Amino acid sequence: MLSLPASVRVYLCTAPADLRKSFDGLSALVQQVFGREPLDGHLFLFLNRRRDRLKILYWDRDGLALWYKRLEVGTFQLPSKDGAERGLELDATQLAMLLGGIDVHSAQRRKRYARAG
C-alpha cells in the first residue's frame, strides 16, 4: 500500500497525454492543466490514449522524478469526473486502487468492526 504524507496531493490529467514527453514537457502540462507548479511536491499523473501506460511526475527533494508503468494486459480505470474537466484530484486510496487495477465505480467498502469509545 502507498504511504503518502497528508500534505501531498494527487492530480490526474483526464485528457490523454503524449507520454513521449519527459520532465520539461510534462512540467508544462502540469502548469497548463492544473495551474500548479511541478516543484510543489505533489504527484501528477498522466495516461496515454489507450490508458495502458501511466507516468507520474513528482518533485523528490532535490530534483524532478518520473515513475512509469506499462500494463501488459488491460487498462487503467479512471475515476468518474464531473463535466469536461481535464484534471481531477485523487486521494491516496483512489491512487492505490488505480495502480492496483481496481474499478473505483464497482468497489464497495464493507462494514468493519469498530470499538465503541
Q: pLDDT digits over 42-100, tens only?
A: 999 999 999 999 999 999 989 999 999 999 999 998 877 665 578 899 998 899 989 98
* The model's pTM: 0.85
- Longest Cα–Cα distance of the chain, Å, equals 53
Residues 82-95 pLDDT 10s:
655 788 999 988 99
**DSSP designation for 100:** H
Of 102, 87, 77, nearest in space to 57 by CA: 87
Q: 58-90 in b/e burial notation, b at 16+ Cβ within 10 A? A: bbeeeeeeeeeeeeeeeebebbeeeeeeebbeb
Residue in 84, 88, 41 with CA at minimum distance from that of residue 60: 41
